[in-house]
Amino acid sequence: MLKLMNRITRVNIFAHGGALGASLVYFLWVKARLDASYAASKHPVDHLTGQTAFSAEVIKGYYAHMQGHGTLGIYQRAQVIDFGFILGMLLVGVLLGTFIARFAREGSAARRAALLAGLAMIGAAICDSIENLISFAMLADPQGFAGWIALAYSGFAVVKFALVALAILLALSAFVLTIAQRLRGSVK
């Protein structure tokens, strides 16, 4: 994966920047669709709270709330839209990490941090996809799914959120380190 990411850093800078810009536009577009669908579902809590309940009873309560409003189907559609969001998150993470890396000195901590930011976002996207697939298992029997499924669902969500936070921290660190390299003149 690192070889592929290093190859991306050598793509024409305008193509790379254009792809990053396009991925940001796509990400914001799909995020707006996801947020609207989630709100229309009348899910009783925000994404973070809902995904980290670690309790089948609590999640079944959320589902019962939406069933009572007749909006559980809208929530299921939001879960499908979330795969588009995951793709956007993945593209932005990888392209931003590699874009920062291209300006850092080869072999530097800044370059490693930028590439690791992209890798962390790949891990987050994988966890988010697994979390979504688990949610479909729960939604197949919204009041009868086994309790351990909620634990797996929330476990993957927590790892996803941790990896997203790590990716952001690494990208910010890489950016600052790259600027410091440039100011010191250590990048040619």
- Those residues of the chain that have pLDDT short of 50 are 187-188
Assessment of whether the complete model's pTM goes beyond 0.85:
yes
Q: What is the DSSP letter of 42?
A: T
103 within 8 A of 16, measured Cβ to Cβ: no
CA distance 35 to 26: 14
Burial class of residue 180 (count of CB atoms within 10 Å of its CB; 0-12, 13-18, 19+): exposed
CA distance 76 to 102: 40
Average pLDDT, the chain: 96
Phi-psi region of 107 (alpha: psi -120 to 50; beta: other; left: phi over 0): left
Range of the domain at 32: 2-184
Domains held by the chain: number: 1
| b/e sequence 29-67, b meaning 16+ C-beta within 10 Å | ebeeebeebbeebbbeeeeeebbbbbebeebbebbebbe
Which H/E stretch holds residue 44? none
CA distance 186 to 175: 15
Which H/E stretch holds residue 123? helix 109-140
The pLDDT value given to residue 186? 56
111 within 8 A of 101, measured Cβ to Cβ: yes
Which H/E stretch holds residue 150? helix 147-184
